[in-house]
Amino acid sequence: MGLTNFPEWIDTGFAICKAGNLSVLEVNSTLLRWLPSVRAGDLLSRHLPELQSHEIEQQIQGQGKYTLDLKVQIVGSESSLLLGLVCQAVSWDGEPAWGFSFTNLSFFEEFRNQSKESAEKTEAESVVKANRTLTAILEGMDQAFFSFNSNGDCTALTPRSCEKLLGFLPTGLKLWDVLQAPDDAASERIRMWVRFIFEGLYDFDELQGLGPKEFAGMPGRYIRLSYRRALDPQSGSLEFMVVGVTDETDTIQAKRQADFERAYSQSILQVVRSRSRFLELIRESKVTFERVREELITPQPRWPVIGRLMHTFKGSISYFSLVELTGLTHQFETLLGREAKLPLPDVHLLLDRLAHIETLFQQFIRDHEDLIGTHAELKGRSLPIPLQELFVFEQKLVQARVPLELARDFREHFTYEPIGPHFAFFDQVLALEASREDKEVHPLEIVNGNLRVRIEAIQELLASLVHIFRNAVAHGIETPPERHDSGKDAAGKVRVLFERLPDSKMLIQISDDGRGIDPQAVRVALKKRSLGVFDHEPDSMVLQRVFTPGLSTSETVTEVAGRGVGLDAVAAAVSKLMGTVLVESETGRGTTFRIEIPEPR
C-alpha cells in the first residue's frame, strides 16, 4: 500500500508510522522533496518532544484525530515551511499504525497576507471614494459634518464642505470655540454637556436635545446642528460624536414667505368677512394714534395709558392677521416698557415707531380701498343719511319738546343699532386663538343680540373686549384631553349676554366653561410683580385684582399675552363710561365677567 505515487501538485505529503515507536513505514515523494533526510518520527520528536505515542493515542481516541500547525526549516535552505499536521489511527497491512498528513500552508498564508493587503488597500480606496462621494452629496445638499471626542476636541473627520457652511474647518478646535459660545458660562455649559454625553449615565435622546441647535457664526444664514453617536464596533462604547451641519436658510425663508402669503390671504378674507368691524377699527385707530401722540409729547407721558391703547390696537389688528403690523406694535410695546424706565426716555424714537406703524396701516387701507370700500364709509356713511345728522336731528326733537315717546322711538329706530352683529367678529377671535392654542371652541353664543344701543358711545369698550375673549381661550378653555378628563365636551363654550337693567343701565356678561381663575395664582403673580401681598384677602376680592395694571399670570411675553395690560384696558374703558366690571370664577367650572354701564345715549 504505497503512497509514493500520490499526485505531487496538491502540495501534500504523507507518512505512515508504526504505533508505539513512530518508526516510518512509508513516506511519499512530496514530503521527501521538502525534507529529504528527515523521517516522520524525527520530525515529530524534534518539534513535539512532549508528545509520546500514548499521548497521541489519547488525543486520537478523544477527538478522532489530532491537528497542529508546524513551522519547520527546509534542509539545505534558509527557507521554512508552515505545515499543517493531521494524525489519525489507521490500519497498515492489518496492523495498527499512525497516519500523518502534512500540508504546505505557506502558500495559503502568503495568499492570505496578500489578500489582506489587497483588502486593506481596496478598503482604503473605498473609504476615500466614499468620502469624496459623501462630500459631493453633502455640498450639493448644503450639508456637512464634523466630529469631536470626549475632550471636546474636533477630529480630522471633517469634509471641506464644513468650511463653506461654518466659514472655517473645525479640525483641532474645541467644540465650544467652534460653536462660538458668547461667554464663559455658555462654554462651561457645553463642556458639561460633552462630559455627560460621553459618561453615558443619562439617556442620549434626552441629552442631545440639550445640545446647541443652531450655529450663529454666519449672519443672515440659519445653520442647524444635529448630533449622532459613533460607537466602537467591538466594545459598543461611544468613540466620538458626529455633528451634522445643515444650511436651512432657503427652507426657512421659503416657509416664512409661505406663512406671509397665507397670513395675507387670511387678512383679506377677514377684512371682507368682518367689513363693518374693520371700518370701526379704522376709525378707532385714528383716535388711538392721536391720543398716543398727544401723550408722548406731554412733559410727563402716562405710560400705562399709552400701553393700554397700543395693546388694544394690537389685539384688533391681529384678529385681521396683519402680521407685520402686529409684530411692529409688539416691538413698540417692548420699546415702550424699556424707555418708560429710563430717566430720559427717547420720546422721538417712540414717535418715529408710531409714525411707521400708522403709515403701514394707512398703506394697507389704500391698497385695498376698492375691495372694502373704505373711501365712502370713512366719510361717516353707514346709513343713507350720515349718523351725525341723525344725532343733530334727535337733539332738535328734544329741544322742540316733542312727546318723549316720539323722541325715544326716533332714537331707537334711527340712531340705535342691534348690538349682536358688533360681537360677531369675536367669534373669529375665538376660532383664531383656539387654532393657535391647539384647542377647540364652539361658535360664540350670543343671547339677546337684538338689543339696540348707540354703538358710537361704546366703541372703546367694544375694542377692549377682545382681551376677555382671547383670555377665555388662552387661559380658560382647556385642551380636548384635559376637558375629556374633566367630563366636559371637547370643545369649549363662550357666551355673551346683553340685558337692559333698571335705572337705565345695560349689562354685558361674558362667560366661559373653562378651568376658571386660580386665586392663588393671582396672589403669586401680584407678589412676583411687586404689586402687593394679598395672602389674607378673600378669594372673591383677590379675583378683582386681575384688572390691576401690569398684572399677568403668563410666564412669557408673546404677541397676545404676558404684558399685563389686557384686562386693565377693559377696566379703563368701563371706568370712562362710569360703569363697573366684576369677575366671578369657579375652579374647573369657568369664569364670568359682568360689565354694567349706563345705557349709551
Residue 540 to residues 350, 524, 543, 545, 597: CA-CA distances in angstroms?
Answer: 39, 15, 5, 9, 21
Average pLDDT for 468-492: 93
Percent of the chain with pLDDT over 70: 69
Distance between CA atoms of residues 286 and 456, nearest Å: 14
**Burial status of residue 496 (CB atoms within 10 A of its CB: 0-12, 13-18, 19 or more):** buried
Question: Does the structure show a pLDDT above 50 at 168?
Answer: yes
Q: Which pLDDT score, from 0 to 100, does residue 280 have?
A: 85
Q: Which pLDDT score, from 0 to 100, does residue 122 have?
A: 57
Distance of CA 468 to the CA centre of its chain: 29
Average pLDDT for 127-139: 51
Q: Collapsing DSSP states into helix, strand and coil, what is residue 88?
A: strand
pTM of the entire predicted model: 0.48
Strands of the sheet with 590-598, listed across from one edge? 445-447, 494-501, 505-512, 590-598, 580-586
Q: What's the chain's average pLDDT?
A: 78
Distance between CA atoms of residues 15 and 338, nearest Å: 102
Q: Which pLDDT score, from 0 to 100, does residue 526 have?
A: 87
Question: Does the structure show a pLDDT above 80 at 107?
Answer: no
Average pLDDT for 338-363: 88
Residue 476 to residues 130, 168, 469, 514, 531: CA-CA distances in angstroms?
Answer: 57, 51, 10, 4, 23
89 vs 578, more confident: 578
Candidates 1.10.8.10, 3.30.70.20, 3.40.710.10, 3.30.450.20; CATH matching 141-247: 3.30.450.20
Question: Does the structure show a pLDDT above 80 at 543?
Answer: yes
| 112-121, 168-177, 324-333, range with the lowest pLDDT | 112-121
2 vs 321, more confident: 321
Instruction: Report pLDDT digits (tens) over 48-77.
Output: 444 444 455 555 554 455 565 555 555 455
Q: Which pLDDT score, from 0 to 100, does residue 3 have?
A: 38
| 80-84, 194-198, 228-232, 512-516, range with the lowest pLDDT | 80-84
379 vs 596, more confident: 596
Average pLDDT for 545-570: 68
Average pLDDT for 400-405: 70
Nearest in space to 322 (alpha carbons), one of 264, 262, 367, 259: 264
Highest mean pLDDT among 85-99, 161-175, 550-564: 161-175
Q: Which pLDDT score, from 0 to 100, does residue 291 have?
A: 92
Q: Which pLDDT score, from 0 to 100, does residue 600 have?
A: 74
Write down the CATH superfamily of domain 8-104: PAS domain (3.30.450.20)
Distance between CA atoms of residues 260 and 251, nearest Å: 14
Distance of CA 93 to the CA centre of its chain: 87
Instruction: Report pLDDT digits (tens) over 253-262.
Output: 888 888 777 7
Q: How confident is the model at residue 341 (pLDDT cuts 50, 70, 90)?
A: confident
Distance between CA atoms of residues 495 and 510, nearest Å: 6
Q: How confident is the model at residue 541 (pLDDT cuts 50, 70, 90)?
A: very high
Are the C-beta atoms of residues 7 and 90 closer than 8 Å to each other? Answer: no
Instruction: Report pLDDT digits (tens) over 23-32.
Output: 666 665 555 5
Question: Does the structure show a pLDDT above 50 at 381?
Answer: no
Question: Does the structure show a pLDDT above 60 at 34?
Answer: no
Residue with cell 497576507: 113
Amino acid present at 85: L
| 80-94, 310-324, 444-458, 514-528, range with the lowest pLDDT | 80-94
Question: Does the structure show a pLDDT above 60 at 166?
Answer: yes
Dihedral sign from CA coordinates of 194, 199, 205, 207: negative
Percent of the chain with pLDDT over 90: 26
Distance between CA atoms of residues 172 and 211, nearest Å: 20
Q: How confident is the model at residue 464 (pLDDT cuts 50, 70, 90)?
A: very high
125 vs 234, more confident: 234
Q: Which pLDDT score, from 0 to 100, does residue 131 have?
A: 53
Are the C-beta atoms of residues 315 and 470 closer than 8 Å to each other? Answer: yes
Fold of 416-598: Heat Shock Protein 90 (3.30.565)
Q: How confident is the model at residue 338 (pLDDT cuts 50, 70, 90)?
A: confident
Question: Does the structure show a pLDDT above 90 at 472?
Answer: yes
Nearest in space to 475 (alpha carbons), one of 419, 521, 540: 521
Question: Using alpha carbons only, how large is the chain's radius of gyration in Å?
Answer: 45
Q: Which pLDDT score, from 0 to 100, does residue 141 have?
A: 47
Instruction: Report pLDDT digits (tens) over 265-323.
Output: 777 878 877 888 888 888 889 999 999 999 999 988 899 899 889 988 998 888 888 88
